[in-house]
């Protein structure tokens, strides 16, 4: 070993992340304000009177025209350009085909080869029971039955399909993005404004360009949904990873973890709760695009809502709108319950992330059935099956589920949801009467107000 020691040598630099340096901010506020003011004055002096005045309705500026030219070019090029036709076209076709495939098998009413409503209900209940538990199963069944009774079966399932496909794509894209942002401050500061734009740009503004690129239909609906639903997932993932305790990360580093090990064995498990919240938010955002997706011929519950709005039929719009709300509740509670179940010992991880700070969820959803999540309701204290026992029960239940699926391909009654409007009580819930009631109430209120 060396015996001569140079006292002040700078160590070999390594890439490993250092604890953030917190220093008191330098106070130069006054100077910064002056610079901003000077820039404003300069802009005013040079741009005064040029394209800064009020436009008449049909007037356009250079900027408007440039955008419109661009649109025309894309439209002309679109036929054989490698990017627009080759790449985007392929993506669009693949998405359309995939959604079409799911629609054929799950939502379309085509007795003979494909699973009917009864089979879908049974399979959905089985999957939910396996992943999330009994309460969630009841909730899922109730929501699916509401869709069937309300005459919204096909549209409702289409919404589910489009939403789930969009969420899966969001997860595939969003998780790596969130991870990249939490790792590098530069990536984070590059992507943050992009996410801001995606989230705040009114969807009507990018409706047309996207439909230009992807053609109208399911693919366009999914891409629209992606634009709006991706940012919350990315942001919350980044936040979740960043808020994993410094102490734990430091302990990991002191044991010599690689970056990959740190991510897989420390950060991701500890941020899991928060990431699930991100996925929930992503799902809710995706559902909130359902009506807008209908404008570009996206399949789903948005269609009856838009159609009803065009005829000012508040009742019919509300029935379909309620369907969206119920689907939202169902997805939220089920994913939460599923994540709680898979966490080792439940509440343990709860202290890590604090999902409570995300106000994104609407108040209504907060207040609606908490009991449906196993942890929130009495499910937490109820006796649980052992893992082995649960697997046994699940295996046994698969038989009736498969039988239901099989018979639903044979019998019309099990394939197409029966019309229950003639049945007492339940009949009141079908689209016609329920919509009628809501219309009556609306009319009464409107009359009362306008006197």
Ligand X SMILES: Nc1ncnc2c1ncn2[C@@H]1O[C@H](COP(=O)(O)OP(=O)(O)OP(=O)(O)O)[C@@H](O)[C@H]1O
Binding stretches for another protein (CB under 8 A): 1-3, 5-16, 18-19, 21, 23-24, 26, 245, 247-248, 250-258, 261, 265-266, 269-270, 272, 343-345, 348-349, 351-352
Q: Contacts for 222-225 with beta carbons within 8 Å, 24 or more apart? A: 222/95, 222/99, 222/162, 222/165, 222/166, 222/169, 222/298, 223/95, 224/289, 224/292, 224/293, 224/296, 224/298, 225/162, 225/163, 225/166, 225/285, 225/286, 225/289, 225/293
**Residue 19 or residue 359: which is nearer to ligand X going by CB?**
19
- CA distances to 181, 184, 226, 236 from 187, rounded to whole Å, are 5, 5, 20, 15
Min. distance of Cβ 250 from ligand X in angstroms? 12
**Residue 245 or residue 400: which is nearer to ligand X going by CB?**
245
**Residue 85 or residue 272: which is nearer to another protein going by CB?**
272
- Total chain residues near ligand X (CB under 6 A): 4
Q: Residue 158: which of 318, 315, 327 has the closest Cα?
A: 327
Which listed option, ligand X, another protein, none, makes contact with residue 344 (CB within 5 to 8 Å by class)? another protein
110 by Cβ neighbours in 10 Å (0-12 / 13-18 / 19+) ranks as middle
Instruction: Please say whether the beta carbons of 298 and 220 come within 8 A.
Output: yes
Which listed option, ligand X, another protein, none, makes contact with residue 437 (CB within 5 to 8 Å by class)? none
Which listed option, ligand X, another protein, none, makes contact with residue 260 (CB within 5 to 8 Å by class)? none
Structure tokens at 245: 């305790």
Min. distance of Cβ 245 from ligand X in angstroms? 16
Min. distance of Cβ 361 from another protein in angstroms? 25
- Give the one residue of 19, 62, 256, 359 binding ligand X; rule: CB under 6 A: 19
User: To 10 degrees, the CA torsion angle through 391, 393, 398, 399?
Assistant: 130
**Residue 71 or residue 384: which is nearer to another protein going by CB?**
384
Which listed option, ligand X, another protein, none, makes contact with residue 436 (CB within 5 to 8 Å by class)? none
- C-alpha span between 394 and 340 (Å, rounded): 19
Q: Give the number of other Cβ atoms within 10 Å of residue 242's Cβ.
A: 15
**Residue 4 or residue 21: which is nearer to ligand X going by CB?**
21
174-233 binders of ligand X (CB under 6 A): none
**Residue 25 or residue 422: which is nearer to ligand X going by CB?**
25
**Residue 254 or residue 381: which is nearer to another protein going by CB?**
254
- Give the one residue of 1, 5, 12, 22 binding ligand X; rule: CB under 6 A: 22
Structure tokens at 65: 């025209």
Per CB under 6 A, does 24 bind ligand X?
Answer: no
Q: Give the number of other Cβ atoms within 10 Å of residue 115's Cβ.
A: 22
Min. distance of Cβ 26 from ligand X in angstroms? 14
Min. distance of Cβ 237 from another protein in angstroms? 17
Q: Give the number of other Cβ atoms within 10 Å of residue 301's Cβ.
A: 29
- The residue whose Cβ lies closest to ligand X is 21
Which listed option, another protein, ligand X, none, makes contact with residue 175 (CB within 5 to 8 Å by class)? none
**Residue 6 or residue 72: which is nearer to another protein going by CB?**
6
Instruction: Please say whether the beta carbons of 299 and 106 come within 8 A.
Output: no
Instruction: Please say whether the beta carbons of 93 and 389 come within 8 A.
Output: no
Min. distance of Cβ 19 from ligand X in angstroms? 5
Which listed option, another protein, ligand X, none, makes contact with residue 253 (CB within 5 to 8 Å by class)? another protein
Min. distance of Cβ 20 from ligand X in angstroms? 6
Cα angle: 295, vertex 296, 301; to 5 degrees: 60
Min. distance of Cβ 141 from another protein in angstroms? 32
**What is the DSSP secondary structure assignment for residue 351, as one 8-state letter?**
G
Per CB under 6 A, does 21 bind ligand X?
Answer: yes
Instruction: Please say whether the beta carbons of 241 and 188 come within 8 A.
Output: no
Which residue ranges make up the site for ligand X (CB under 6 A)?
19, 21-23
């Amino acid at each position: 070993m060396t015996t001569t020691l140079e006292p002040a040598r700078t160590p070999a630099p390594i890439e490993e992340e250092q604890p953030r340096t917190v220093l008191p901010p330098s106070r130069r506020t006054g100077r910064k304000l002056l610079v901003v003011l000077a820039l404003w004055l300069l802009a005013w002096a040079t741009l005064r009177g040029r394209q800064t005045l009020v436009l008449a309705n049909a007037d356009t500026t250079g900027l408007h025209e440039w955008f419109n030219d661009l649109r025309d070019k894309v439209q002309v090029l679109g036929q054989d350009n490698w990017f627009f036709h080759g790449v985007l076209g392929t993506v669009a076709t693949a998405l359309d085909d995939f959604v079409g495939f799911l629609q054929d098998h799950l939502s379309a009413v085509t007795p003979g080869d494909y699973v009917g409503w009864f089979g879908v209900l049974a399979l959905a209940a089985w999957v939910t029971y396996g992943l999330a538990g009994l309460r969630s199963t009841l909730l899922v069944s109730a929501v699916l039955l509401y869709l069937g009774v309300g005459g919204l079966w096909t549209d409702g399932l289409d919404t589910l399909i489009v939403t789930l496909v969009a969420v899966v794509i969001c997860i595939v894209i969003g998780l790596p993005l969130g991870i990249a942002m939490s790792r590098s401050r530069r990536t984070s500061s590059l992507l943050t404004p992009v996410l801001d734009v995606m989230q705040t740009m009114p969807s009507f503004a990018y409706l047309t360009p996207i439909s230009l690129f992807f053609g109208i239909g399911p693919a366009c609906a999914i891409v629209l949904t992606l634009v709006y639903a991706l940012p919350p997932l990315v942001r919350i993932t980044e936040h979740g990873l960043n808020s994993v305790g410094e102490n734990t990360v430091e302990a990991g580093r002191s044991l010599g973890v690689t970056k990959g090990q740190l991510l897989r064995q420390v950060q991701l498990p500890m941020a899991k709760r928060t990431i699930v919240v991100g996925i929930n938010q992503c799902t809710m955002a995706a559902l909130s695009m359902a009506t807008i997706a209908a404008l570009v011929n996206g399949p789903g519950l948005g269609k009856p809502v838009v159609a009803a709005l065009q005829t000012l039929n508040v009742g019919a719009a509300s029935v379909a709108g309620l369907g969206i709300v119920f689907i939202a509740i169902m997805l939220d509670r089920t994913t939460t319950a599923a994540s709680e179940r898979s966490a080792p010992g439940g509440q343990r991880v709860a202290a890590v992330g604090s999902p409570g700070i995300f106000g994104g969820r609407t108040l209504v959803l907060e207040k609606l059935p908490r009991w449906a999540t196993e942890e929130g309701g009495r499910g937490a204290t109820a006796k649980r099956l052992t893992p082995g026992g649960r697997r046994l029960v699940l295996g046994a239940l698969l038989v009736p589920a498969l039988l239901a699926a099989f018979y639903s391909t044979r019998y019309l009654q099990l394939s197409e949801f029966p019309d229950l409007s003639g049945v007492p009580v339940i009949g009141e819930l079908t689209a016609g009467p329920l919509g009628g009631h809501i219309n009556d109430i609306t009319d009464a209120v409107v009359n009362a107000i306008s006197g």
